[in-house]
Amino acid sequence: MATDNDTSGPDPDIKDAVEGYQRFRLQYERDRAFFKGLATRQQKPRLLWIGCSDSRVVPAQITNADPGEL
């Protein structure tokens, strides 16, 4: 019988993170050239973004910035 203190199963947050990583790996394999391009381009941020520390707000998404721009 499971109880509220049962820790035998995986932590849901860790499980979600691992599943997210697995989805990224699948996307990486499909878009290998895109990710290689990101790795070889020099980062030249034009802006230092100081904003809310709320993890639900993604600065690159709300500013439509490409990787390496912020």
* Residue ranges making up the domain that contains 32: 12-63
Residues 6+ apart with CB under 8 A from 70: 45, 47, 48, 49, 59, 60, 63
Q: Which pLDDT belongs to residue 3? A: 55
Whether pTM exceeds 0.75: no
Q: How many domains does the chain have?
A: 1
Q: Which pLDDT belongs to residue 7? A: 65
Checking if the pLDDT of 60 tops 70, the result is yes
Judge whether 69 lies within some domain.
Answer: no
Judge whether 1 lies within some domain.
Answer: no
Q: Which pLDDT belongs to residue 4? A: 60
pLDDT, tens only, 5-52:
666 777 998 999 999 999 999 998 899 998 888 888 887 787 888 877
Judge whether 19 lies within some domain.
Answer: yes
Average pLDDT, stretch 62-66? 86
